[in-house]
Structure 1
Amino acid sequence: MQRILSYIGSLTLLVWLTGCVTTDANLDYTAFRESKPASILVLPPLNSSIEVEATTAVLAQSTLPLAESGYYVVPVALMDETFRQNGLTEPEDIHQLPLNKLREIFGADSALYITVTEYGSQYAVLASTITVAADASLIDLRTGTTLWSGQKKVAQSSGGGSLLGMLVQAVVDQVVNTLSDRSYQVAGVTTQMLLGAGQPGGILYGPRSPHYETQ
């Protein structure tokens, strides 16, 4: 038993180990290139995780990577207020709206539909892990064609040192994660990796980017 504990105590877990599930690098971009979308409406994400703040956290950080990729993105505040003025506050209801109606109201070429599948921290004895995972699809509002779809999962774990130290650190990290909501930070990494152009399986650069039509 002493040798086992000694071995376990010698193990080192990487502090903030980050992993991801990449999108398919062999996606067919024919429809995307033919559509040439210049503007994107990001809809409030559906949330299938147990954390209620997942929708807000992912939505808040989804527009930046798209804008940096060369697209005009309908401001989140404008989108949210427009839906509220029309009695729509639930992502499930908003995702069911007709595409032509979204096009008519916001004038965007395309809409981004996101589903958050995992969000939050979990305590697993020797480590506390934060995971954020999301699926996304870009739909042409003019034709209904799916231009692109992808998924990303980012997990960050902390721990290290002796067995006792790892146990204590995991508990401390779980408390800190809860109080400071590090999940929000991980959500930022996830959305950047999922929605930023120039990555294998990612979206193409938009017309406002100097890299437009180089992929």
Structure 2
Amino acid sequence: MRVFLCALVSVFLMGCVTQPTKKDMSAFQAAAPRSILVVPTINKSLDVDAPNYVLAALPVPIAEKGYYVFPVNTTKYVLEQEGYYEGERIHQQSTPTLAKLFDADAVLYVSINRWDAQFALLTTVVTVEFDYRLVSKDGTELWKENKRMQYQPQSNNAGHPLATLIVAVVNAAVTRAAPNYMPLTQQANQQVFILGPDAIPDGPYRPTAAR
């Protein structure tokens, strides 16, 4: 009887586990965007080069997902001609105004929350974190996501302990001196737009979505 009761309680508890809630994509499906305008990012990190790297990495996964993406360099140039130079100011503009400049169906806003390398005694942890927000040309929010990725170089534990320690210190110093943020950024974009459970739906130009 005791075994039976324990099993019954276990089944009950398993049934009470909250499953992740899928995002409501009804607004996205109703808007059915075909073209996406990627505007310059807001940079909350201390690295002044981060916005250019992040902006350059965004079009590829979105295009792979099946959407037309306006060339980011052309977008940046046109916005500058309109007097919009800083990401903060661009994000403050109304989405219909920005979309109308390019005849875009939706606008993607990205904020860089983290883009740093934190050094400890034997390791360096590289972190990137982004907020993504897609808004239709009429101002309706279609989708949003947050993604944080970290990388920590690992040392081979095989061999002499002193040699392993030296290798760990050197790897940490090298990573701190020249952290490589792009692999993390590309992984974040892949998971957010393509691989993640709440990725945007396939666009009209994705081969698998072709009729």
Which TM-score band applies after superposition, normalised by the shorter structure?
0.7 to 0.9
Q: Which residue of 2 aligns with 1:125?
A: 121
Q: Work out which of the residue numbers 31, 36, 39 in structure 2 matches 1:40.
A: 36
Q: Which residue of 2 aligns with 1:3?
A: none
Matches of 2:161 and 2:113, distance apart in 1: 32
The aligned amino acid for 2:204 is P
**Percent identity, aligned pairs only?**
33
Q: Which residue of 2 aligns with 1:10?
A: none
Question: Normalized per residue, which structure has more helix?
Answer: 2
Matches of 2:42 and 2:161, distance apart in 1: 39
Secondary structure class of the residue paired with 1:211: helix
Closer, same or farther in 2 for the Cα pair 1:170/1:46, shift >3 Å?
Answer: farther
Secondary structure class of the residue paired with 1:37: coil
Measure how far apart 1:170 and its partner are: 4.4
Gaps of at least 5 residues in structure 2 are: 1-19
Q: Which residue of 1 aligns with 2:97?
A: 101
The aligned amino acid for 1:185 is P
Once the two structures are superposed, the pairs formed by residues 55-94 of structure 1 within 5 Å of their partners are 55-94=51-90
Deviates more, 1:174-183 or 1:202-211: 174-183
Q: Which residue of 1 aligns with 2:147?
A: 152
Measure how far apart 1:179 and its partner are: 5.2
Matches of 1:191 and 1:73, distance apart in 2: 14
Q: Which residue of 1 aligns with 2:180?
A: 182
Q: Which residue of 2 aligns with 1:205?
A: 202
Secondary structure class of the residue paired with 1:119: strand
1:4-52 per-residue CA deviation (whole Å, 9 max, x = no partner) reads: xxxxxxxxxxxxxxxxxxxx65100111111100000011111112222
Structure number with bigger Rg? 2
Matches of 2:119 and 2:168, distance apart in 1: 7
Instruction: Compute the TM-score of the two structures, normalised by the length of structure 2.
Output: 0.81
Matches of 1:70 and 1:125, distance apart in 2: 45
Q: Which residue of 2 aligns with 1:110?
A: 106
Measure how far apart 1:86 and its partner are: 2.1
Aligned length: 189
The aligned amino acid for 2:38 is V
Measure how far apart 1:88 and its partner are: 1.8
Closer, same or farther in 2 for the Cα pair 1:81/1:172, shift >3 Å?
Answer: same
The aligned amino acid for 1:61 is A
1:59-114 per-residue CA deviation (whole Å, 9 max, x = no partner) reads: 11001000000000010111011012222211001111122221221110000011
Matches of 1:213 and 1:148, distance apart in 2: 23
Measure how far apart 1:212 and its partner are: 3.1
Q: Is the Cα–Cα contact under 8 Å of residues 60 and 76 in structure 1 kept in the other structure?
A: yes
Gaps of at least 5 residues in structure 1 are: 1-23
Instruction: Compute the TM-score of the two structures, normalised by the length of structure 1.
Output: 0.79
Q: Which residue of 2 aligns with 1:172?
A: 170
Greater RCO, 1 or 2 (C-alpha within 8 Å, sep 6+): 1
Q: Is the Cα–Cα contact under 8 Å of residues 117 and 134 in structure 1 kept in the other structure?
A: yes
